[in-house]
Amino acid sequence: MKLISRLIVGATLAAGGAFLLHPLQASESIRIASLRTPAEPIAAHRADEVVVQFRNQVEDRDVSRVTRESGADRVRRGRSRGRYLMHLDAGFTVAEALDRLRARPEVEYAEPNAIFRASQVRRVTANDTFFNAQWHLEMVDAPRTWAIQSGDPSVVVAVLDTGIAYEDFGPYRKAPDFGTTVFVQGFDFINNDTHANDDNFHGTHVASVIAESTNNAIGGAGLAFGTALMPVKVLDAEGVGDTFSIAEGIDFAAENQAVKVINMSLGGGGNSSSIANAVTRAVGRGVTVVAAAGNDGEGTVSFPASLANVIAVGAIDGRKQKTPYSNFGSALDVVAPGGDIRRDDTGPGQRPDGRPDGILQQTFDPDTAAERGRYDDFAYFFVVGTSQACPHVAALAALLYRQGITDPSAIQASIQSTAEDLGPAGRDNTFGHGLLRPSVALTGLGLNR
């Protein structure tokens, strides 16, 4: 179904500009997508792969010998020095390989190639798209934020996800509301090529929160719509990735000097030294790393959001209440709108407007993609999850870098110190430091005010 929508983003509040809304012109319908659940349990790690980190002085012939003696059928070199992905011979288990590797003095550490999933719970589709339906942008005062700054292509956000619908290539199509969005060269670590196209839907939706083309008379808006995006595909068509791919993706993104923010709307898989080290390297290069807290509804933030040098983002609904699915705990830094499709609280005057309270952005229909292999059935979808909360913070990090805060720890401190305190006074495990407030963070501090 072809969509036609017209939208004009409001002028600055300070200038007293009116917030104009034009109604949708074309016919519209609301489709409720079915809830898809996995057919069988997802394994914690790949059954025939191990990630191994050799010490710096080990030579290639020693790597070959050690991996062969530890059960390797073939070995793939990683982007970071000394990191390899071992594919095991049929006669070896992961446990046996790890035992042998960890006994070798040449090996710094070895770990299973754990599996990570996109942090998205469920989705509801809608064909009508207005900026005023993007309650999540209103909640973080996007119009005021844009009056200060809306991003610049010199600052790149790397989206480590299922890819992005950023180009016309083979069966893939560029999403219609990326017309003015700037993309830089990314990489597909699932298929090992330079076309990080989205074959799931998740990455496109996440990327749209950050930089969906705005003020172009179609679709929705992105919080940092002037920012450039780098698609880095580390999750497959099912939204599943692994330790090696994610660590590779982080290193790839951080090696590009223009990348200042990494968004990871993914989690699970357990702690990983490879990923932790890659994050540390990225932060050392001045990159702010933001990750989703996870959707298990548990009191422990998922990895890698749980890392101290990563901004962990939880989700709230349209009432600024914690969503039932959002993880929480001592590692939680801030919350952002993630939505709750069971609720309808975000119409005018906080009354129901007939639309579920999901995060509304563009992407393609996942059912069409999965069942027919078509990635061009674009629409505007309400999706909920800490996956959707996370890119709000990544967008703010990009805006802050452009504004002048060029250190990741300072960006994190700015976001935390200017957040709207929710729940008990001060930081708490449910809301962290509170709800991000981009316009306040970008305003900064005067001498006494």
Partner 1 sequence: MKMPAISSACRPVALISLAAVLCAPAARAGEASLTLDGGWHDLTNAANSAKAVFDGVSGGPTGGVALQYGLGESFFVRAGARYFQRNGERVFVAAPGSPVFDLGHSLKVRIIPAYGLIGFRFLQGGSFRPYIGIGGGVTSYNEESDVAGEIFTSTATKPSGQGVIGLDYGRGTVRFGGEVGYSLVPDVIGFGGVSNVYGEDDIGGLTAVVRLSFVR
- The residues binding partner 1 (CB under 8 A) are 12-15, 147-148, 403-407, 409-410, 413-414, 417, 442-449
Cis peptide before 304 (omega within 30 of 0): yes
Q: How far is the CB of 284 from partner 1 (least distance, A)?
A: 16
- Pick the closer one to partner 1 by CB: 145 or 208: 145
Distance CA 403, CA 424 (A): 31
- Pick the closer one to partner 1 by CB: 15 or 39: 15
Strand intervals (E) in 342-429: 359-364, 378-384
- Backbone phi, psi, residue 391, to 5°: -65, -20
Q: How far is the CB of 13 from partner 1 (least distance, A)?
A: 8
Q: How far is the CB of 400 from partner 1 (least distance, A)?
A: 8
Q: How far is the CB of 147 from partner 1 (least distance, A)?
A: 4
Q: How far is the CB of 380 from partner 1 (least distance, A)?
A: 29
CA–centroid distance for 95 within its chain: 32
- Pick the closer one to partner 1 by CB: 58 or 148: 148
Distance CA 106, CA 235 (A): 31
Tell me how far apart the terminal alpha carbons of the chain are, to the nearest angstrom: 52
Distance CA 389, CA 326 (A): 10
- Pick the closer one to partner 1 by CB: 349 or 446: 446
Distance CA 113, CA 123 (A): 29
Side chain identity at 295, as an amino acid letter? N
Question: Left if phi > 0, otherwise alpha if psi is -120 to 50, otherwise beta: which for 329?
Answer: left
- Pick the closer one to partner 1 by CB: 253 or 411: 411
What is the sign, positive or negative, of the torsion defined by CA atoms of 155, 366, 3, 170? positive
What distances in angstroms separate CA 99 from CA 52, 96, 385, one per listed residue? 12, 5, 38
- Pick the closer one to partner 1 by CB: 14 or 18: 14
Give the residue numbers marked as catalytic: 161, 202, 387
Distance CA 360, CA 221 (A): 9
If DSSP codes are grouped into helix, strand and coil, which group holds residue 439? Answer: helix
CA–centroid distance for 443 within its chain: 25
Q: What is the DSSP string of 238-295?
A: TSEEEHHHHHHHHHHHHHSTTEEEEEE-EE-S---HHHHHHHHHHHHTT-EEEEE--S
- Pick the closer one to partner 1 by CB: 300 or 416: 416
Q: How far is the CB of 226 from partner 1 (least distance, A)?
A: 15
Query: How is residue 76 written in tokens?
Result: 């793939």
Q: How far is the CB of 441 from partner 1 (least distance, A)?
A: 8
Paired residues of 364 in beta bridges = 378
Strand intervals (E) in 3-44: none
Q: What is the DSSP string of 81-105?
A: TTEEEEEEPTT--HHHHHHHHHT-T
